[in-house]
Amino acid sequence: KIDNTAKELNIFLKWLFSGQTQKEMPGEGRTFRRKTSQFWNIWPMPPKIEAPRDVIYVDGIYLSRKACVLICCDDENVLGWYLCRYEHAGAYIALLSRIAEPSVVVSDGGTGFVKALRKVWPNVKHQRCVFHVFCQVRRYTTTHPNTPAGAELYAIAKDLLYHEKQDDVERWIHRFIDWMEKYHEFLNQMTRDEYGRYRKTHERLLKARNSLIKLLREGTMFTYLDEDLLDKIERIPSTNNQIEGGVNARLRSMLRDHRG
C-alpha cells in the first residue's frame, strides 16, 4: 500500500510541475485523476508567523458566490490565508490569530474585520485603504454626478488619493466640512415616494457623506501620515494595492485562464 501511494504521489508531482493540462493527457486525464484522487482534497495549512512585521495587508477575494479566501501578506510574502463562505468576524479572527501582531494593518474594511482586529490585535494601528474609500463614494455619486453637490463630493473623495502631508489632511477635512455646510439644506430635501411616504431626496449622496463621516470618527483614513508611527516605520502605505495588484490579481488570472 505504501509503495502504491508513493507511485501515485510521484505521478501527481510530475504532473504538478510539468505545466501540462489534464486535457492534454491520454483519455483527457481520466486515469490520472483516478490514480491521484486521494491528493486532490488536501488543503495546506499556512504556517504560524511568529516574527512580527511593521506593516501587513489583509483582504478577501471571492472565488465564487460562496467561497471567499481571506489573505494576509507583507511586502514580500503571503503570511496566511483562510477559506470561508463569506467575510465575517470569526473568519478574520481565525486568520489573524496565527500571525504575530504587526504595528500597522492595511485593509479595505471588509465585513467583520474591525471587530476581529479589536479582539485579536487591539493595539495595532489600522489604515483603511483610501482607494477603496474613494471607490465607495464613487459608487454613490457615479463618475458623472448629475448635481453640483455630487460633483464636488466626487472631487473631494478623489483628492484622498494625493495627500502626502498632514497639512493636506487638515485642508481636506475643512473642505469636506464646508461642503456639508454649503449643501445642508439640499441634502435635507424630502420627496414623497410611490407609497405616499416622505423620504430623503438625495439618499445616495447622504450615504456617501455618512461613509466619510464614519471613517473620520474612527480615525483610520490617515494613519499613514501619523508622525509618531513614521518615526518607527520608514513607510506606511495608504492603500492595500500590494495585495490587490499582487496576490489577488494572480488568483483572478489563474481562475480566468482555467475557466473557473
Which is more confidently placed, 3 or 36? 36
Note the pLDDT of residue 19.
62
Whole-number Å distance between alpha carbons of 12 and 223: 47
**Model confidence over 8-21: pLDDT tens digits?**
767 766 766 566 66
Whole-number Å distance between alpha carbons of 169 and 103: 22
Note the pLDDT of residue 115.
92
Note the pLDDT of residue 222.
93
**2 has a pLDDT exceeding 60:** no
Note the pLDDT of residue 102.
94
Q: Percentage of residues in the chain with pLDDT exceeding 70?
A: 87
**Model confidence over 132-187: pLDDT tens digits?**
999 999 999 999 999 999 999 999 999 999 988 889 999 999 999 999 999 999 99
Are 103 and 125 a contacting pair, CB within 8 Å? yes
**Model confidence over 199-224: pLDDT tens digits?**
888 999 999 999 999 999 999 999 99
Note the pLDDT of residue 20.
63
Strands 125-128 and 190-192: unpaired
Phi, psi of 259 (to 5 degrees): 55, 45
**1 has a pLDDT exceeding 60:** no
Question: Which of 56-65, 152-161, 246-255 comes out lowest in average pLDDT?
Answer: 246-255
Which ranges in 68-121 belong to alpha helices (H)?
89-96, 113-120
Note the pLDDT of residue 40.
72
- Report residue 23's pLDDT band, with 50, 70 and 90 as the boundaries: low
Which ranges in the chain belong to alpha helices (H)?
2-16, 30-35, 37-40, 89-96, 113-120, 130-141, 148-158, 166-182, 184-187, 203-218, 227-230, 241-242, 249-257
**Model confidence over 189-202: pLDDT tens digits?**
998 887 888 888 89
Which is more confidently placed, 7 or 57? 57
Query: Residues with Cβ < 8 Å from 41, sequence gap 6 or more?
Result: none
Are 116 and 98 a contacting pair, CB within 8 Å? no
Q: Please state, as a whole number, how many other Cβ atoms lie within 10 Å of the Cβ of residue 168.
A: 15
Strands 104-107 and 55-64: parallel
Q: What is the mean pLDDT of residues 214-236?
A: 90
CA distances from 26 to 10, 11, 20, 116, 191 (A): 18, 14, 12, 49, 67
Q: Round the average pLDDT of the chain to a whole number and report it.
A: 85
Question: Which of 50-54, 59-63, 125-129 comes out lowest in average pLDDT?
Answer: 59-63
Note the pLDDT of residue 25.
67
Q: Please state, as a whole number, how many other Cβ atoms lie within 10 Å of the Cβ of residue 201.
A: 14
**246 has a pLDDT exceeding 80:** no
